[in-house]
Every structure is written in structure tokens, then in C-alpha cells.
Chains A and B, each alone.
Chain A
Amino acid sequence: MKAAVVLRQVPDVVEDLVIAGDGRSLSEEDVMYITNELDEHALEQALLLKARHSGTVTAIGLGGDAARDALATSVAKGADEAVFVPVDFAARGDNVVLSSHLASALREGGYDVILAGVHAADQLDAGLGGLLAARLGVPYVGGLTGVQLDAGGRTAVVHKEYPGGRLGVLEVDLPAVLGIQSAEQPPRYVPVSKVLQAKRALQVKEVRGPLPQVAGVTVRKLLKPESATHAKMLQGDEDAVATQIVALVKERGLL
């Protein structure tokens, strides 16, 4: 089995997001990056498949230099190969551009399964997986919480989330692109010492080349959501806040 996993660097939304002077993008120097959380799940699922079926896992890191660190972490976790795809700040999150840019490298790689998180925090267009599959001419199924491969490696049986807590079982011909919602187990932890070790020994293939010019979504402006309502903020320390919450609970007759 040959698996590839797409790992995108996205702004950490826990941090403050600063809108740049142009009003249309984030201020690049203020952005803290993390690997897109659902892509971490995609990596975990790929590593689980490797453990079951043997084969190789190629981690493909998209973004700026932070992607190299993500690749080192992936290798420390068990990925066999690391590919770095530098993506200009402006093009990150543009899946129309990314899918077009990645398609040829992925085609040449001859992968049986390509896994990506079903969604990324910075995306405004359709999901990367579906676009990639369409460009590669292979099937795509997203919203997955489990993947099994058949012994011959010709098909995958996937668990797909349906509304109401139900799971659909689908058989998918390989090669295919799979959109992961959550891996069968939480993404594994790897100690920092192992990551540093992997970083020192890391061999990274680089996919260079200009990003394709394709018409996608044009951002006119970014704005902070102005909600019609905002919470009344309870002031004071923990003790004071607790007292006020108890009063609210009492007031509502919930005690």
C-alpha cells in the first residue's frame, strides 16, 4: 500500500487573528501556524493503515517553513517519506490552486490512497480532497471515521458519517482520495526528543514550481463578525463569577 497524506499549515485560531492593512488578508507576521487538525487525523489514519497492511506513508507538507517542522513530526510518528510543497502566503487556503498544483506530483507518486482532512480552518472554497480527486479522475469520499483496505489493495471499505449519528459503509475503488473527519484513534503523541531527532535526519523532497493561475474565490475584505448579541460579561475573579452563575441557575429554577 502506498499512501500519501496532505498536511496543511493553517493559522492557529486560538491566537489573535490580525487583519492586514489591505483589509483582505491576515497580517502574515502575526500568524501562528499549526498543522490543520483534520490533516493530523488523516496522518493518523494513514499510519494505522500502514500498521495493518504494511506499505509506505508519504507526508506532503504544504505552506511555509512551518511545514518542514510538521514533516519532521510526521516522520517521527512513522511516515516514510517527506515532501515539502512551498505555498505562497496568499495562496494558502485556496484549494482550487492547491489541488491544481498538487495533482501532477500526486499522479507521479502512484499512490493507492491519498488522505486529507475533510476541511481546513483557512478554506473558503470546496474541500481540497474532492477537488484533488476530480483533477486526478479518481473517486472521493469525505466525512470518514474509519478506513479498511482489502487484502489485494484494490478497494477500501470506509465508514462515513451520516446525520443523526449513523455511519454509512461504502466500498471505494482504489486509487481514491479519502476525506478524513476523524481517525479511528486520536492522533498519536510523539515526544519532542524524537521530533528533534527526526528533524536532524530529515530528508525532504521539494516540489517547486510556480502556482497555477486559476480563477477562484476573490476576497474583498475580512471582518470581525458583528453579532447582533453579545454575552453580558460577568466580572470579578473565579469566586465572584461562580457566585453570579449560581444566582443565574437559581433564578431559572434549575437548582
Chain B
Amino acid sequence: MSPTGIVVVAEQEKGEPTDVTLEMLACGRELADRAGGPLTCLLLTDRGAPFRALPLAADRLVIVEDPALGAFNPEVHARVLAHQLKAMAPALVLLGNTAAGMDLAGPLSLLLGGTAVSGCVRVALEGGVIVATSRLYGGKLLAEVSVPAPALVLLMPGSYPRQKGMRDRVPKVEVQGGAGLAGPLRVRSCGILEPKAEDVDLRKVPVLVGAGRGVQTKDNLRIVEDLARALGGAVCATRPVVDQGWLPRSRQVGRSGLTVKPRLYLALGISGAPEHVEGMKEADLVVAVNTDAGAPIFDVAQYGATVDILDLVPILTEKLKAAKGGK
């Protein structure tokens, strides 16, 4: 029997489906409506109750409920998913292109005998072939790829309209126990460390000055700080800048940091890698400065310039101070 149907592997946070889960359902719904296959939403959780009455855009919601499925453990989740997906034998599995999805894709693809495609922003079905468009090279290029079914597709957050992940009725709900969990574990959860108190809550600051790799050195951050001060805002950064130890983790914006929606986001020396853009694209106004005119950040920004940020920043700071003084 050839594989049919689409399964969305849901992610949840505090009893709610995450945005990318709704986006995957929107994608799955579109494909299922065209290809006619059923769309199943598969949710692993320690507490399924909040999901039972949600009008998710799936034909069926399978909740696997087990105390072991609280905090994400890649081995536990992979085991349960493998058990479920083998039985469902879908043509396409949608996972989030998230930390969890990236952990699961490799082992699951081998267990299911399919191929995983990551970084996807569009998915189509052409007969028995899955055609995906993926972000590559930090979002600088797109690749249109094909894989035979069954396949696992990791969907980039923000690729489909999340409101289409819900509709006007509740899907058929099945609740199951954690079958597939038997046997000793090689990866064991020992607890969760909550983030340290933040020095500043970036989500509450109206103006953010984002520093990317283009700032080049820790010392150069000083002029960026001065600029942020002149704007009455705060400095935040991309992951590489934080990984260098130039700014604390609490200043990181993007997939593994914070999602911010300031009134102005001034992106300095930021290329616009998808992981960062995820965290700042909903700013009211984005102004980007990067010497690389081909940087993907210019597709997110409303205004851009290609001058050198190290030349620009001190001049801009002075002009802002002068403009404030002259009010």
C-alpha cells in the first residue's frame, strides 16, 4: 500500500499550540484539500485536555498523553513518534524547523525510510513526489527540491498564514497512551533551568538597535550603545554576536532568543539570516544598514542603506542628539 495522508507533528507551549504548529496545519490543509488525503495532527503531551476542543484545521487530532512527554526529550519523542508514524504511514510528515524538529528529523527519517527536507517555506505535491522550496546559505538562496514520499518536511516558522491553522469545527479527537515508550532510556531529563533575570526586557523597548556580525568587534558595540541611548532604546543582537560573548544572552533576538515587536528596529550589520528574522520581522518599522546590497535583511526592512555602519553610527548619534536638542 502506498503511503497516503499528511501528518503534522504539533508543538505546544503552556497548553497552547505554537505559531509554527498552526502554520504547519495551514500548509497541511492546503495540500490535503488539493490531494484529497486526510490531515492528521499528532500531539505529544503530558496534558492533552486543553487541546481537545480546539478547532484545529486537521481532520483528526491524535493526542498521545503520557507523563514522560512533558519537557521535550528527543529520545522519548522520537520513540513515540516512530511508533505512531509507522502505523499511520503518511506520505508527508510536517515538522517545525525548530530546535525540536531539528532533533527529530534525522532519526525519524531513517526509522521511516524517508528523506527529510529542512528550511522549507513552500510545499507542493506533484503526484507521489513532494516538491519543497527551502532556504539555503543563511537565506541568501532558495532551493527547489524534490523528494519521493514518504518524506519529512521541516517548515520554517512564518511561512504559512497561521490563522488558516484553525477553522470552524473541532476535528475528531483520539487520545492514546504513550505506546512505544517501553525500554530503558539513554537520554534522561533532569530538569529545566529558567532564564536568569533580564537586565532589560527587550520586548518592552520601543526602539531596538540590532547589532550583527558587521559590528566586527566588541569595542565597536560602544558606539552602537551610544546610538541606542540617543534613540531612547536598547541594543540587541544576532546569535553570533552573543555567542562571541559581546552581549548577554538576554539581548539575543531570533529563534533561540526573543521575539520582539518594537516600533523601530535599526538593523546594523545584520545579514538577515532566517533564524534572526524570525524574531524581529514584526517590528513596525525596520531600517537596515549593511554593506552587502544582496543581504536578505533588505527584503524584511522598509528602508535600507549600504554605507559602512562604523562610519554611519557616530554621525547618526550626533544628528539625533542635535535633533532632540533642537526640539
Q: Is the CB of B194 within 8 A of A166?
A: yes
Of the residues A95, A157, A168, contact of B71 by C-beta under 8 Å: A168
Least CB distance from B60 to A in Å reads 26
- Check: A122 CB closer than 8 A to any chain B CB: yes
Write out the residue numbers on chain A whose beta carbons fall within 8 Å of the beta carbon of B299: 225, 227, 229-231
How near does chain B come to A217, taking the closest CB pair, in angstroms?
A: 5
Seen from chain B, the residues whose Cβ lies within 8 Å of a Cβ on chain A are 13, 18, 71-75, 98-99, 102-107, 109-111, 115-119, 131, 134-148, 152, 154, 186-195, 206-207, 213, 231-232, 239-240, 243-245, 249-250, 256-258, 263-264, 266, 271, 284-289, 292-294, 296, 298-308, 311-312, 315-316, 319-320, 323-324, 327
Measured CB to CB, the residues of A under 8 A from B are 11, 13-14, 16-17, 19, 37, 41, 95-96, 99, 118-119, 121-135, 138-143, 157, 159-173, 176, 179, 181-183, 185-186, 215-225, 227, 229-234, 237-239, 241-246, 248-250, 252, 254-255
Q: How far is the CA of A241 from the CA of B244 in the complex (A)?
A: 29
Q: How far is the CB of B307 from chain A (nearest CB, A)?
A: 5
Given A124-B117, A124-B145, A161-B99, residue A166 in contact with residue B193 (CB < 8 A): yes
Contact check: which of B106, B131, B294 meets A130 at CB < 8 Å? B106
Q: Is the CB of B106 within 8 A of A219?
A: no
A250 to B271, CA, bound (A): 26
Closest Cβ neighbor of A175 among chain B residues: B186
B186 & A173 in contact (Cβ 8 Å cutoff): yes
- The answer for the CA separation of A167 and B286 in the assembled complex, in Å, is 30
Closest beta carbon of chain A to B98's beta carbon, Å: 8
Q: Of A123, A183, A185, A238, which is in contact with the most chain B CB atoms at under 10 Å from its CB? A: A238
**Could you tell me the distance in whole angstroms from the C-beta of B184 to the nearest C-beta in chain A?**
9
Give every chain B residue within 8 A of A161 (Cβ-Cβ).
99, 256
Contact call A11/B137, Cβ cutoff below 8 A: yes
Cα-based distance from A167 to B104 in the complex (angstroms): 18
A231–B191 alpha-carbon span in the complex (Å): 44
Contacting residue for B312 out of A139, A166, A242, CB 8 A: A242
| Contact partner, B289, options A138, A222, A241, A255, Cβ 8 Å | A241
C-alpha gap A13/B135 in the complex (Å): 12
